[in-house]
Chains A and B, each alone.
Chain A
Amino acid sequence: MIISEQTQAKEETRARAERDERPEPLVRPGETFRSVTDKIGGIVLAGRHPLGWWISFGIAFLLVMGLFYAIAVLLAIGVGIWGINIPVAWGFAITNFVWWIGIGHAGTLISAILLLLFQKWRNSINRLAEAMTLFAVACAAMFPLLHLGRPWAFFWLLPYPNGMELWPQFRSALVWDVFAVSTYFTVSVFFWYTGLVPDVATLRDRAKNRFSQVIFGIMALGWRGSANHWRNYESAYLLLAGLSTPLVLSVHSVVSFDFSTAIVPGWHSTIFPPYFVAGAVYSGFAMVLNIMIPLRKWYGLESVVTEKHLDNMGKVMLVTGLIVAYGYIFDMFTAWYSGDAAEQYSVVNRAIGPYAPVFWLLMLVNVVLPQSLWWPYVRKNPVPLFFAALSINLGMWLERFVIVVVSLHRDFVPSSWRMFIPTGWDWLTLFGSLGLFFALIFLFVRFLPMVSIFEVRELIAEEKEGAA
């Protein structure tokens, strides 16, 4: 009995070792340097786009027009057009800000942290994820500025010499936020552009018309793929990744400080930084999938973004989702354990108060439904995975809403309790920001290579070596 068990264990180890020796390919066999160049570069250079692209871009563009309209009215009349009031002064604007910036985090996680961890599978998805980061951070940064009341005075947030005797309070979490978000955006732009240069050089060398040659030529900065260039380039890329890694963790931690340094019940909690970062990665991966799944279908990129990629991303969502669920439970436990009446009431109020349906929907779409990711079937099939990701994106937005609005609307003094009811302008701004995000993504796909070509070539070179 024991012996047979041992043999069985040995068999299993050997089988596993054999499987590990031949890992699932990250690029489907049959792809060569030239075929990936043609395939990915061709999307930009041929300029023929599937119907899905036109329809999606059209919808996104209409929403952008709606956003412009909402912003124009906001600037003309003021933040009173939104449903915000005292005590719920933050409303949708801050909910959207936190949600968007969280979405951006997956891009940096994929491109920087997975690079440092030698996760080669990131090479096919990092470019799109980085672009997503940029656009999500742009959407995010818009909201606190619009929420200022006088957005044209936004530069008062920065420390600069002026005659108004105005100087930021550096010990305030809101000033940390200004620095964190602007640093994050700048570093993301650098990281993204550095990664693009060799691929833009590919487009420069393959472009047929003069206009594209000149534009891509300027953007490629004269890249010649020399070993001397690559040497400095790889060093810069690695260091930028190393810098982005603590940065990305700091940004959502700082965002969570906006809440946790306040004394509002439901906010004043030490678990917020890690819980926010996990939630950021969770929603960010969901957004990458929501974009990548249709794009890979439309442009026939299944051979570079394989089932293995979908599977891995599904696993990351599952893990971060569990961390987020743990955060929910711990939040409740701390409230109970603190013995603080206001804190305890904030938890009860979430579950049975006037916003209870939002809370229970949050639990359904953010905790219950994502458990389907335990099944490999869901992780490896684009359609169920797409819907799981959609559910998570909705769930994370609801979570931000619960944290911002439900905590604020009933604080210590019952006489000041008030409901927050979003107006049409709130909704238009939210959906308008979604439109802006997707319009930018679709334009990016149209004008720049959405998959990092040179990094996929590296994968092919490695797989060839492995086969030889």
Chain B
Amino acid sequence: MTAAAARRQSFAVVAEFGSAAELYHAAERVRDAGYRFWDVHSPFPIHGMNKAMGLGKSPLGYIIFCGGLTGFLTAVGLEFIPSSILYPLIVHGKPVDFFTVPAFFPIMFELTILFSAFTAFFGVFILNRLPRLHHPLFDYLPFRRVTNDAFFLVIESGDPKYSETGTRDFLQGLGSKEVKVIYAND
């Protein structure tokens, strides 16, 4: 470690694991040890990882429901306010009465889906704090393999239980291939 690096505060301890299963078991141990600011990184979603990490269900479903409801109400307003309330005109020989209401359904349906999809698309990236074009982890070159065939566990320095040496030794004890302390590049 260079003198300059020693003066900087460390960002996190990164541990690499050999397979999804090893990462899964390590995550269970980290969870049980009571760490809070930590994450695992993998090239594909690992089945059951939410449980191993003690994460709950994604809140996205509720948010999308609200988006869909907004879409539905938008369509109701867009269709009925001008066509039935403000200007109840008979156009194309289609009367303004209860029996023509089903003809408004397709657009209600489409806008419900459209708004839900907007919420899903933007919601997932906002919840994930993305787009974020740089992150201290990208400075650690082996981390580039996380989008190929490598599995990482990261404990951040913001964690109350974090200590550079203690956390490093703890991760080494979990059977990691390589444990490394990395520093924010500023």
Contact = CB atoms under 8 A, between A and B. Distances in A.
Interface stretch (A144-152, A179-187, A264-272): A179-187
Contact of B61 (A32, A194, A227, A239): A239
A204 interface: yes
A227 B41 contact: yes
A169 B91 contact: yes
A374 interface: no
Q: Which of B39, B107, B111 has the most CB of A within 10 A?
A: B107
Given A225-B41, A227-B50, A235 B148 contact: no
Nearest to B101: A171
Q: Which of A225, A250, A254, A461 has the most CB of B within 10 A?
A: A225
Interface string B115-149: 01110110111011011111101100000111111
A201 B50 CA distance: 22
A43 B173 CA distance: 40
A235 B106 contact: no
B87 to A, nearest CB: 8
Contacts of A172: 92, 94
A7 interface: no
A202 interface: yes
B39 A226 contact: yes
Contacts of B128: 226, 228-229, 232-233
A224 interface: yes
21 contacts: A33-B149, A34-B149, A170-B104, A175-B107, A179-B107, A204-B147, A205-B145, A206-B144, A206-B147, A218-B133, A221-B132, A224-B41, A224-B135, A225-B147, A226-B41, A227-B39, A228-B128, A231-B49, A232-B127, A233-B128, A243-B117
A259 to B, nearest CB: 15
B123 A236 contact: yes
Interface of A: 32-34, 37, 159, 167, 169-172, 175-176, 179-180, 183, 186-187, 190-191, 193-194, 198, 201-202, 204-206, 217-218, 221-236, 239-240, 243-244, 246-247, 250, 254, 257, 454-455, 457-458, 461
Given A33-B43, A187-B113, A247-B113, A170 B135 contact: no
A230 B43 CA distance: 10
B133 to A, nearest CB: 5
Contacts of A250: 106, 109-110, 113
Q: Which of A223, A236, A250 has the most CB of B within 10 A?
A: A236
Contacts of B10: none
Interface in B55-93: 55, 57-58, 60-61, 64, 78-79, 82-83, 87, 91-92
A227 B106 contact: no
Contacts of B39: 226-228
Contacts of B120: 190, 194, 236, 239-240, 243
Interface of B: 20, 27, 39-46, 49-50, 53, 55, 57-58, 60-61, 64, 78-79, 82-83, 87, 91-92, 94, 100, 103-104, 106-107, 109-111, 113-114, 116-118, 120-121, 123-125, 127-128, 130-135, 137-138, 144-149
A239 B60 contact: yes
Contact of A226 (B40, B57, B117): B40
Contacts of B146: 205, 224-225
Contact of A232 (B49, B60, B103, B118): B60
Nearest to A203: B147
A222 B133 contact: yes
A185 B144 CA distance: 33
Contacts of A194: 120-121, 124
7 residue pairs, one from A and one from B, having the closest CB atoms: A236-B124, A221-B131, A33-B149, A171-B103, A235-B58, A222-B132, A230-B45
A234 B120 CA distance: 11
Contacts of A179: 106-107, 110-111
B147 A227 contact: no
A223 B130 contact: yes
Given A37-B149, A179-B106, A227-B41, A159 B60 contact: no
A230 B49 contact: yes
A232 B58 CA distance: 5
Contacts of B123: 232, 236
A454 B20 CA distance: 14
Nearest to B43: A457
Given A170-B104, A204-B147, A455 B44 contact: yes
Nearest to A204: B147
A179 B149 CA distance: 43
A217 B42 CA distance: 18
Contacts of A167: 82-83, 87
Nearest to A37: B148
B134 A222 contact: yes
A229 B118 CA distance: 18
B141 to A, nearest CB: 10
A214 B107 CA distance: 40
Contacts of A183: 110-111, 113-114, 117
